[in-house]
Structure 1
Amino acid sequence: MTAGPGGYPEDSRYLPIGEHGLIGDLRTVALVGTNGTIDWYCCPSFDAPSVFASILDADKGGSFELFADTLAKTKQFYFPDTNVLITRFFAVDGVGEIQDFMPIEEDSDEVDRHRVIRRVACVRGALPFRARVAPRFDYARAPHTVHQQGSRTTFESESLSLALSASVPIETDGRDAWASFELKEGEHAVFALDRIGDGITPRPCPIAEAEEQFASTVRFWRKWLSASRYRGRWREVVHRSALTLKLLTYAPTGGIVAAPTTSLPEQVKGGRNWDYRYVWVRDAAFCVYALLRLGFTEEAEAFMGFLSTHVPLTGVSSTGPLQIMYGIDGRSELPESELNHLEGYRGSAPVRVGNAAVNQLQLDIYGALLDSIYLYNKWGNPISSDRWEQVCTLIDWVCENWDQPDEGIWETRGGRKDFVYSRLMCWVAIERAMRMAAHRGLPADIPRWRRARDTIYHQIMKHGWSASLQAFVQHFDDDVLDASILMMPLAKFVSPTDPKWLSTLDALGSGLVSDSLVYRYDPEASPDGLEGPEGTFSICSFWYVEALARAGRVDEARLAFEKMLTYANHLGLYAEEIGHTGEQLGNFPQAITHLALISAAFNLDHALG
């Protein structure tokens, strides 16, 4: 074996995380590798058990392979201004391509079909192709049977059935299905994989229908993107981020998942593997800000609808009125378990489903939620009187409970601490509520809120400042740097040109920044209860860009931003982290990274004039 990312042996059974594109139907997605293989697909929703999961276990996880059956180079791109993915094969005898997409069936009886269409074309010469469909239902735990009838092959498990329609002959061994065929220049073949049952009947997908659905899917994405108001310098990458965020939206509720995958590791062979297929409250303010800035008011309204419907502001549990995350359908129970029969990406066990961090106390989420409500009230629609009463209840709780240790923004499992970022965002919660009350003349206990807000401010200034580092730090009365502090000027807690902030920015630059990439913190200096090192966090890198721009260091900000763009994958997508050799690490793609990219681009455009 050759050496792979991070110095670990390269496992040729696995593509690098970044060697994938994404397709979806606003309810679930599939990851398609540059080799033409779908190696991650959950049906019928983001957080449903997987059907294809070879990205988590190359041997047992299941996949849908489709490739030119000859020595060929591959390239991948999105059909312009869409989420239709094209994988091209360049061989001695010809050039072929796969057009992968999921039709968007809004307001239709077909919405639960979740059709995946794989349209194969030979565009030059002649090429042999091979397909292999090997579903492994319920995270490869449930057996299934295979039945054939004409051009349809049905895979049936106890909880889910899928029908494969193909325009070429299919063979089966009772478990998997495969096909070998040759296409000449101008010829096409089509594979369509449908969920069936619960009123969804099998339906063929002839070549002509696939062509029509291709055209209608292209029209949908281009019409959606045409609502964007962004006309800045980085239109292509901003619009790719917007298209990605739309793919990560669960249309029935308006929630946006943090990422569509689980257990892709923050370090190969490490144990920092989490399930991100849920809606984080922390993403709320970033989401509303980015969507409204771009002009996607309907999506911002839908996300606020998710918060209004599924995030109660009045109930109080052991960790307060809010959980840090919710299911895409608003459910609060997300029990965490390990799938020990799966080896994990390149042996990075454990594979986890569910997320035990749901029960952590993370006080920063109150600032994120209130900031999103404030932004929506300012740029969207005024919040209702009922919602304002809930806000008041929430702020009263924050005034009573802000002064306690918590697990912090990074969801550490090393015990609770007095994290500066948590205090900062409690300040944001109270400050934004006071702004709304003043702007609209809404009733509020302003004297009480002001006392709490000012007390937090003074506490941060006294205990969150390190005289030895000349910087704001991770938690009170310590000397550990933390990239979350980059949010201080972004949240308007401190002036971006305040001397204390400028020295903090210098300290972060020398202590946590490497070639524009930003580490969250040093796990050795601040043990987080987890084993092993980690890569740099992409969201922090975009926060760094924005902090530089706001501080007037515009040339540095632009260079850092342009460098960050080189760390994207070939399609402009980002995982959670960037490894030591520039590889994508962690769940992929990550919504909040693309939200931060949009925010950084907007503010850098503004600073450049």
Structure 2
Amino acid sequence: MNGLDLGVVGNGTIAGLVNSVGNYQWLCLPRFDGEPVFNKLLGGGGQFDIWMDGLVSRSQSYDTNTAILRTRLEAEDGAVMEIIDFAPRFETRGRVFRPASIVRRFHVVSGTPRIRITLTPETDWGDRKLPAVRGVNHIRFNDGELAFRVTTDAPVSYVLSGTSFLLEQDVSFILGADESLTDTVDVITLDWEERTRQYWTKWARSLAVPYEWQEAAIRAAITLKLCVFEETGGIVAALTTSIPEHEGSERNWDYRFCWIRDAYFTVTALNRLSAMGTLEHYMRWVRNIVAQSKGGHIQPVYGIGLESDLTEEYATHLPGFRHTGPVRRGNQAAEHIQHDVYGQVVLGVSQSFFDSRLISRPGIAEFRQLEPVGERAFAVHDTPDAGIWEFRTIAEVHTSSAIMCWAACDRLSKIAAHLGLPDRATYWSERAAIIHKTILEKAWNPKVGAFTASFGGDTLDASVLLMAEIGFVPASDERYVATVDAIDSTLREGNHVYRYKTEDDFGRPKTAFTACTFWHIDALYRVGRVEESREMFESVLSSRNHVGLLSEDFDPSTGDLWGNFPQTYCMVGIINSAALLSKPWSEVI
């Protein structure tokens, strides 16, 4: 798995990554974009590791329909142990309990395993270890702004010194706030584990999953929910930073922020499964962004706490994933001009105006707040921007951005009609028509036989495949069918699709972009190549890691996963393609 043999545990406040031998590779505190205290993923020394004497086999899986991760280790002498990892999440006193805590339970299955536990969190992005202060049954780590406590019923002396010992009975660890627990650690661990299990199984049971590929869709949905920072409703694009798109690419970005584009796709995918809570949380976040913009420029990405300043810096004390730097914190994309965001803002909240299931449905006042976003979309639809792929030195009139500007005006027209505002419906319909006509005239290249990446251009970009999904043209349109064929022959390698194959700021891409592969699968289905789309979908599912997760990129030549992990775009693709391609329930029951 080239280092991405990782499972995710989280609860909507924090999230961590655990590898297939039970070692924490990544955990940021006190939230997704915070300080990485366990940072081995990027070559640091921040550890929460387990060593087992005579280890001969390992396996890892999630407990069914939950975010509880179980790692099984077996030794040559027959000793077997399991590590149960989770972040507590359950309903209590009328609210969801989701503290900045992780729980680890080391369970003896058979024999007497001999183990060593290493707990050495770091701070300042790998610059130094956090000082440890011993208590009777806990270890405090306090460095001013960053403070937490690890409470355990394991021998504290052994943990602090890294001494190996015989595990004769179960032991538990709770990493959380620097305060005493209300009961013994074992009692709390077992209680939280069962209540967390009940929460996730209940939530999964509420999903309207497709008949086929149910397990894949449920795992994708749970993973997407783990990427939602529920305090504000912001959704991170991934839980990591600086995992490169391929070795030596320097395409190492910090994805622990909320891209309006990625969040829109996440919300719509969960809506397809009837997981409406995410839409309600995200609506709050978007409304704040719209209010903050005052009808002007909207950044493509903000912090999960609505931060607009995401200054990009290098973390020089971390060597990087597989020693492939640089390691970045912050993201310059916040400074980019990307016109697709206006369509994604409107698309992301459109369903909320029509869905009677929501507790707080928006109305005319909220529609009025969105109209300046539409005005901005109309004003910029035929002007250059950085595009959906956030080019740093290339500015063109990107077709995908123009399409999203059309979507903003089109959906505002539909919302106005639904709210009984015929004058506004006509107004926005007319603007959508103007943009539609412009795109058809300037993005279609008859010599290439396809809609191209930019107005008047001659190169292909997989993002134009979204035309049919958002309703810009029907999938039966001859130009769309021709575009699908052109992308199939040009950007596809095996069963994986590249974003584009032209030179960009960092040269020519060397890995396929998994989200584009899913877009192409859906496009093939829509143009009638059904069996091919199903075969391609099955192939991509087989490229997931051992617990069903995907990263941003895939190397068709080696089968390796690359890019930030797990990427919401990719998990969205699993849900969308499964829902589109699956046989309907009515055919099988």
Taking structure 2 as the reference length, the TM-score comes to 0.93
Paired with 2:96 and 2:490, the residues of 1 have a C-alpha distance of 53
2:276 matched residue in structure 1:
297
1:65 matched residue in structure 2:
49
Against the structure 1 CA distance between its residues 331 and 443, is the aligned structure 2 distance closer, same or farther, given a 3 Å change threshold?
A: farther
Partner letter of residue 85 of structure 2? D
1:207 matched residue in structure 2:
186
| Aligned partner of 2:402 among 423, 437, 458 | 423
1:538 matched residue in structure 2:
514
Paired with 2:199 and 2:171, the residues of 1 have a C-alpha distance of 23
How far has the Cα of 1:447 moved from its partner? Answer: 5.6
The residue matched to 1:40 in structure 2 has which SS? strand
Against the structure 1 CA distance between its residues 112 and 446, is the aligned structure 2 distance closer, same or farther, given a 3 Å change threshold?
A: closer
1:563 matched residue in structure 2:
539
Paired with 2:63 and 2:234, the residues of 1 have a C-alpha distance of 26
Paired with 2:173 and 2:375, the residues of 1 have a C-alpha distance of 57
Against the structure 1 CA distance between its residues 115 and 419, is the aligned structure 2 distance closer, same or farther, given a 3 Å change threshold?
A: same
Please show how residues 186-335 of structure 1 align to structure 2 within 5 Å. 187-196=169-178, 200-201=179-180, 205-312=184-291, 314-317=293-296, 320=297, 322-335=298-311
Paired with 2:471 and 2:7, the residues of 1 have a C-alpha distance of 36
Which 5+ residue runs of structure 1 have no aligned equivalent?
A: 1-14
> Would the aligned equivalents of 2:52 and 2:113 in 1 still touch at CA under 8 Å?
yes
How far has the Cα of 1:420 moved from its partner? Answer: 0.7
How far has the Cα of 1:211 moved from its partner? Answer: 2.0
2:568 matched residue in structure 1:
591
Paired with 2:252 and 2:224, the residues of 1 have a C-alpha distance of 22
Paired with 2:272 and 2:207, the residues of 1 have a C-alpha distance of 9
1:21 matched residue in structure 2:
7
How far has the Cα of 1:25 moved from its partner? Answer: 2.1
Alignment of 1:181 onto 2:165: yes
> Would the aligned equivalents of 1:271 and 1:531 in 2 still touch at CA under 8 Å?
no
Paired with 2:202 and 2:464, the residues of 1 have a C-alpha distance of 39
Alignment of 1:456 onto 2:435: yes
> Would the aligned equivalents of 1:143 and 1:157 in 2 still touch at CA under 8 Å?
no
How far has the Cα of 1:536 moved from its partner? Answer: 0.9
Paired with 1:39 and 1:396, the residues of 2 have a C-alpha distance of 45
Paired with 1:112 and 1:141, the residues of 2 have a C-alpha distance of 29
Q: Percent identity?
A: 33
How far has the Cα of 1:156 moved from its partner? Answer: 2.1
Name the stretch that deviates more: 68-77 or 370-379. Answer: 370-379
> Would the aligned equivalents of 2:514 and 2:570 in 1 still touch at CA under 8 Å?
yes
How far has the Cα of 1:231 moved from its partner? Answer: 4.2
Name the stretch that deviates more: 143-152 or 397-406. Answer: 143-152
Paired with 1:594 and 1:30, the residues of 2 have a C-alpha distance of 17
C-alpha root-mean-square deviation of aligned residues, in Å? 2.3
How far has the Cα of 1:392 moved from its partner? Answer: 1.8
Paired with 2:404 and 2:289, the residues of 1 have a C-alpha distance of 22
> Would the aligned equivalents of 2:343 and 2:377 in 1 still touch at CA under 8 Å?
no
Alignment of 1:48 onto 2:34: yes
> Would the aligned equivalents of 2:62 and 2:547 in 1 still touch at CA under 8 Å?
yes
| Aligned partner of 1:79 among 63, 69, 75 | 63
How far has the Cα of 1:546 moved from its partner? Answer: 1.1
| Partner deviation per Cα, 1:52-100 (whole Å, 9 max, x = no partner) | 111112xx34111013222322111001111000111122222221111
The residue matched to 2:66 in structure 1 has which SS? coil
Against the structure 1 CA distance between its residues 205 and 470, is the aligned structure 2 distance closer, same or farther, given a 3 Å change threshold?
A: farther
How far has the Cα of 1:338 moved from its partner? Answer: 0.9
1:360 matched residue in structure 2:
336
| Aligned partner of 2:447 among 468, 473, 477 | 468
How far has the Cα of 1:105 moved from its partner? Answer: 5.7
Please show how residues 371-410 of structure 1 align to structure 2 within 5 Å. 371-380=347-356, 382-410=361-389
Which 5+ residue runs of structure 2 have no aligned equivalent?
A: none
| Partner deviation per Cα, 1:123-176 (whole Å, 9 max, x = no partner) | 123321111001002312355322212122222212222222222223379xx6
Partner letter of residue 93 of structure 1? D
How far has the Cα of 1:20 moved from its partner? Answer: 0.4
Against the structure 1 CA distance between its residues 99 and 446, is the aligned structure 2 distance closer, same or farther, given a 3 Å change threshold?
A: closer
> Would the aligned equivalents of 1:112 and 1:195 in 2 still touch at CA under 8 Å?
no
1:602 matched residue in structure 2:
579
Alignment of 1:104 onto 2:80: no
Please show how residues 31-42 of structure 1 align to structure 2 within 5 Å. 31-42=17-28
1:370 matched residue in structure 2:
346
> Would the aligned equivalents of 1:283 and 1:592 in 2 still touch at CA under 8 Å?
yes
Paired with 2:182 and 2:24, the residues of 1 have a C-alpha distance of 22
Paired with 1:329 and 1:249, the residues of 2 have a C-alpha distance of 12
Alignment of 1:90 onto 2:85: no
The residue matched to 2:343 in structure 1 has which SS? helix
Against the structure 1 CA distance between its residues 218 and 177, is the aligned structure 2 distance closer, same or farther, given a 3 Å change threshold?
A: farther
2:460 matched residue in structure 1:
481
Name the stretch that deviates more: 435-444 or 87-96. Answer: 435-444
> Would the aligned equivalents of 2:388 and 2:401 in 1 still touch at CA under 8 Å?
yes
| Partner deviation per Cα, 1:351-385 (whole Å, 9 max, x = no partner) | 11111111111111111121222222233555222
Alignment of 1:508 onto 2:487: yes
How far has the Cα of 1:401 moved from its partner? Answer: 2.1
Against the structure 1 CA distance between its residues 201 and 150, is the aligned structure 2 distance closer, same or farther, given a 3 Å change threshold?
A: closer
> Would the aligned equivalents of 1:579 and 1:585 in 2 still touch at CA under 8 Å?
yes
Paired with 1:570 and 1:110, the residues of 2 have a C-alpha distance of 30
